[in-house]
Amino acid sequence: MTIILVLGAVWIILNYFLYKQIHKYRLYIYGVAVILSIISLTQEVNVINLGYVGFSFFLAVMFTGVVDKSNVKKSLVATRAEMAILGTIFIIVHGVKYIAYAIDFNFLFSAPLYFYIGVFSLFVAIPLFLTSFIEIRKKMNGKVWKRLHKLSYIFYLAVGLHLILIQNDRMFFYIGIFGVYLIFKVWTLLEKKNNKVPVKKKEIKTTST
C-alpha cells in the first residue's frame, strides 16, 4: 500500500518537473522499463512482478482525467500516454508471471475469479497500449481512437475488481482508491454537463396568408 502511494507520488513529481524530457526521451525510457521487466521475470517476487509498479503508474493516469485544471494537470496530461505505456509494460510482466505460476502449479483452469478478471484486464489493456504510441495514434482516425480508449474505463473496473476480490489486507485501500476515483469521475461529468451552454433554437416566423 505504502509502496504504491509513494511510487505514484514520485511519478507525479517527476512529471511536474520533467514532463518535456520524459516526452522527448520516451523511447529510451520504454527501453529501460522493458529491461527492468525482463529482469523481474527472472526473480521470484519483487515490486514489479507483484504489480505494484504498474498499478502506481495507472493511479497517476486515472486521476489525471479527474483533477482540476492546474499546472499539475497540464504536466500529467502532457505525459499521460507515456505513463499509460510504462504502466502497461509493468502490468504485462505481472500478468505473465502469474499466468506462468498458474501453468506450473496446474491451476490455470481452477483459479479464483480474481485471477481471470486480472487476465481479462490484461487483454483489454493490449489495444489501449498499442494505440497509445504516438506513431500509431497519428495513423488512426481521431473518433475511432477516442471510442477505442473508452475501453480504459472497463480496464479500470476490471483492475479494481481484481484487486478487491483478492481480499487481502489491502482490500479496503483498493476500495478507497477506486471509490474516490468514482466520486471524482461522477463529479467531473456532472460539472461538464452543467457547464454546457444550451443552444437556443431559432424562432421560426410564420406568415399568415
Whether 205 maps to a domain, the answer reads no
* Phi and psi, residue 44, nearest 5°: -70, -60
Confidence label for 30 from pLDDT (cuts 50, 70 and 90): very high
- Split at pLDDT 50, 70, 90, the class of 72 is low
On whether residue 206 sits in a domain, the answer given is no
* Under 8 Å between Cβ of 4 and 56: yes
Residue 196 within any structural domain of the chain: no
Residue 144 lies in a domain: yes
Note whether residue 116 is domain-resident.
yes
The residue ranking higher by pLDDT, 23 or 71, is 23
R_g of the chain computed on alpha carbons: 21
Whether the Cβ atoms of residue 89 and residue 122 lie closer than 8 Å to each other: no
Most confident of 64-68, 124-128, 191-195: 124-128
In a domain, 65, yes or no: yes
3 state SS for 89-148: HHHHHHHHHHHHHHHHCCCCCCCCHHHHHHHHHHHHHHHHHHCCCHHHHCCCCHHHHHHH
Let me know if residue 114 belongs to a domain: yes
pLDDT bin (cut points 50, 70, 90) of residue 205 is very low
Domain holding 153, by residue range, is: 2-190
Give buried/exposed letters for 157-172 (b at 16+ CB in 10 A, else e).
Answer: ebbbbbbbebeeeeee
Query: Whole-angstrom Cα distance, residue 204 to residue 181?
Result: 45
Per the structure, the count of domains in the chain is 1
Mean pLDDT to the nearest integer, 123-129: 95
Contacts of 52 (CB under 8 A, 6+ apart): 3, 4, 7
CA geometry: angle 7, 137, 77, nearest 5 deg? 40
In a domain, 88, yes or no: yes
Q: What is the number of other CB atoms lying within 10 angstroms of the CB of residue 96?
A: 14
At residue 60, the pLDDT reads 87
Give 191's pLDDT tier (boundaries 50, 70, 90): confident
